Amino acid sequence: MKSSAKFVAFTGILAALAVVLSLLENLLPPVPGMPPGAKLGLSNIVSMYAAGCVGFFPAMAISLVKGLFAFLTRGITAGLMSTAGGLFSTLIVWLLLKKLRFGLLGASAAGALAHNAAQLMIACLLTSSAVLYYAPILVLLGTASGILTGLALGVLLPPLEKLQRR
Amino acid sequence: MSSRFPLFRKRDLLIFLLAAVLAGAGFLQWLPKSGAPVAVIEQDGKEIRRVELSSIPQPETLVLDGEISVTILLEPGQVSIIHSDCPDQICVNTGTLTRPGQSAVCLPARVSVRIVGENNSGIDGMTG
Amino acid sequence: MNKNIAPSSIKKWTAVAGAVVILLAAILASMVLYPQSSQGYEATTWAMGSYIQQTLYGSSAEEAATQASSAINELENLISWRVAGSDIEKLNSAAGTDWLELDEHTIDVLEQALSVAEATDGAYDPTILPISSLWNFDSDEPTFPGDDKIQEFLPFVGYEFLRINTEDNTASLRNHGNGVDLGGIGKGAACDAALKVYKESGISGGIIAVGGSVGVYGEKPDGTDWRISVRDPDEDTQDGLGVLSLEEGCVSTSGSYEKTFTEGDNTYHHLLDAKTGYPAESGLVSVTVVHESGAISDALATACFILGLEDSLPVLKELGASALFIDEEHHITIAGDLEFEQISTNYTVSRQSL
């Protein structure tokens, strides 16, 4: 990635992809019995890729765009939760993946947990601490969805890296 | 190596261990708390007495004086209103209370006896 | 690979520890906070001649409970005919004279009372006071007033004597001798008043019981439905007849076992039939009604008890309520869409669609 224009455009495309994936995910019917806040986290694939292969600031920017989009489409509460969750999880993923050399599975699971933790904190501040009842379930579901995201990245990364090098 | 990022490294286990510990600790909170049933006796909305049912050593009567006198019998594991000067006697007819959520009320005397604690019956309220 | 880790591996592992601690602290904090929220805040007060119990969940629970209980006191001071200076006391005193301007809340309750009275053709009648004060069930010593007295005062009872104008919040009683007694709707109206406070307070969920009327709002911490035990008319034990599961709304019960007295060979209960002036005999022991409005459920419970099972069904359908009837033969009839789990085995159960 040589020219900066190309770089910005690439980040923009990634941000758009993240927004589209999170929109797609919201279209899925809610699974009965699942606590509020439990999500597949499709768009985390994009944030993780950005944190690992593009850089820290582009990755944070993508999370911000995603949060901003949640503000616009789903209101203040959802916006705050998405922004806080996105930024915190991107930070953790970048830290684990780039600085501490964790594997994809571990970094991705930690990212999902960080996302849940930040969301819970915001939900707790904005609504009531009753949401914390679900915390243990969210930890398990978050780890599971993190592992899925990690596996998906394991498949997607090699070809993407080739693409990027061109 | 096709990728700079290996799928799994040994240190990833640290994350999964952390997740397991957190989830475990969280689920522990869901277990019924050891909170033993406690009888709460109130008159005019003010708490007169609070006693853990299982810690009552021997039967004891508690007489609440007022415009209408009410006598409460505290026994190991149970509590009941055994006498009231009220006309309707609904409180006496309520019988013996043993489980959280149960209550006996003497409206004329404004006395209530109820058992609080971990609500195993899962009852939130009562109609009738 | 190794050369990447070696130089500053100590620093890096410190950072690992840092990140792990942040995560741990965030989620552990939530675990510590959790028990408080699931316990619920409980408050017990007395008003409307009943024992009021609230269990509220969420951060502003204590404040909401206090506000709800003062809202109920305010309501009582408006709609109790026994409270000197209340709207209803003034309305009763002014019977046969002029229209009176009353508080909006009073008019609301009167309007709901009249709607149930009209739907039930007077089985529930808010103008029962001339008869109910003869029997005096709420006093220490209720007495059988005698047939002569009942016949003398019966003509003064009739909901058509009560007229309200919701545009300028006025009401009137047509004749001297008419009187309003909102005893059959007041506890339900108190639940409504509390639920209104809850909605505005930002608590996550709560339940209020005013005597036998129960109202629920929002969610329990575990997200399950509210479970309300229905008293077994027969038993002194508190196991109850069964459990009603409710997502929202109100439940009220009218049972002939609630207030009774015996004089000579006869036992009288407090559910008076406005048509005869005597305690109603419809073969029922108790009726439990579920409706989104507490006032409507309370008044309907009384009305359905007086109407009996058959005549109640069209009324329930019309007003969008469901009900549980218990008759003298130990049979439970569930009318409408109710989630009921039977506990006592002394009863048979059937369902009736509306």
Which stretch of B44-58, C23-37, C130-144, C146-160 has the lowest confidence by average pLDDT? Answer: C23-37
Q: Interface pTM (ipTM) of the complex?
A: 0.80
Answer whether A136 sits within 8 Å of B2, measured CB to CB: no
Query: Looking at the predicted structure, is the pLDDT value of residue C29 above 70?
Result: no
| Integer Cα distance of C253 and C186 in angstroms | 13
- Which pLDDT band holds residue C2 (cuts at 50, 70, 90)? very low
Per-residue pLDDT, averaged over C196-207, amounts to 92
Please write the tens of the pLDDT for every residue from C202-223. Answer: 898 999 999 889 999 998 877 7
Which pair of structure tokens corresponds to residue A148?
A: 């899925």
Residue C98 is given by DSSP the state -
The chain B residue lying nearest A151, using CA atoms, is B7
Q: How far apart are CA C80 and CA C129, in angstroms?
A: 11
- Looking at the structure of chain A, the number of domains it has is 1
Residue spans per domain, chain C:
56-74+189-352, 77-183
The answer to whether the CB atoms of B123 and C227 lie below 8 A apart is: yes
Q: What is the mean pLDDT of residues B71-92?
A: 88
Residue C80 CA to residue C47 CA, distance in Å, equals 11
List CB contacts (< 8 A) between C45 and chain B. 45
Q: Is the pLDDT of residue B30 over 80?
A: no
Chains near C (3 or more Cβ pairs under 8 Å):
A, B
Average pLDDT of C103-124? 96
Amino acid type, C275: K
What are the chain A neighbours of B3 within 8 Å (beta carbons)? 154, 157-158, 161
Q: C319 is written with which tokens?
A: 């007003």
CB contact A164 to B (< 8 Å) = no
pLDDT tens for A73-112 read: 888 888 898 899 999 999 999 988 888 888 999 999 999 9
Size of interface A-B (CB pairs under 8 A): 77
User: The domain containing residue A110 runs over which residues?
Assistant: 4-165
- Judged by average pLDDT, the poorest of A12-26, B114-128, C84-98, C282-296 is B114-128
Superfamily of domain B38-116: N-utilization substance G protein NusG, insert domain (2.60.320.10)
Q: What is the DSSP letter of C179?
A: -
pLDDT of residue C119: 96
CATH number for region C77-183: 1.10.3980.10
| Residue A88 DSSP SS3 | helix
Quick check: helix, strand or coil at residue A2?
A: coil
Task: Determine the CATH number of domain C56-74+189-352.
Answer: 3.10.520.10
pLDDT in the model for residue C30: 56
Q: What percent helix, strand, coil does chain B show, rounded to 5?
A: 20, 35, 45
Whether B57 has its CB under 8 Å from any CB of chain C: the answer is: no
Say which CATH number the domain at A128 has: 1.10.1760.20
What is the helix (H) or strand (E) element at residue B90, kind and residue range?
A: helix B90-93
Most confident of A23-32, A117-126, B51-60, C185-194: C185-194
Q: How far is CA C71 from CA B43, C65, C265, in A?
A: 22, 10, 43
Q: Answer whether residue B114 shows pLDDT above 60.
A: yes
Sign of the CA dihedral B119, B80, C232, C181? negative
Residues of B near A (CB-CB distance < 8 A)? 2-9, 11-16, 18-19, 22-27, 29-30
Q: What is the pLDDT of residue A109?
A: 92
> Contact C30/A120, CB-based, under 8 Å?
yes
Q: How far apart are CA A66 and CA A71, in angstroms?
A: 9
Q: Residue C15 has what pLDDT?
A: 66
Give the strand pairing for C331-335 and C348-352: parallel
Count CA atoms within 13 Å of residue C142 on its CB side. 21
CB contact under 8 A, A102 and B7: no
Distance CA C8, CA B120 (A): 55
For residue A95, give the nearest of C13, C15, C57 by CB distance. C15
Contact between C23 and A139 using a beta-carbon 8 Å cutoff: no
Assess C302–B contact: CB distance below 8 Å, yes or no: no
pLDDT recorded at residue C35: 47
Q: Report the gap between the CA of A56 and the closest CA in chain C (Å).
A: 16
Q: Which residues of A touch C19 (CB under 8 A)?
A: 92, 95-96, 100, 110
- Distance linking the first and last C-alpha atoms of chain C: 75
- Residue from C155, A48, C154 nearest B3 by CA: A48
Tell me which residue of C72, C309, C270 sits closest to C183, measured CA to CA.
Answer: C270
Mean pLDDT of chain A: 83
Q: How many angstroms separate the first and last alpha carbons of chain A? A: 8
Contact (CB, 8 A) for C48 and C187: yes
In chain C, positions 191-230, which contact chain B (CB-CB < 8 Å)? 207, 209, 212-214, 216, 220, 226-230
Position A99 scores a pLDDT of 84
How many CA atoms are closer than 13 Å to the CA of C40, on its beta-carbon side?
20
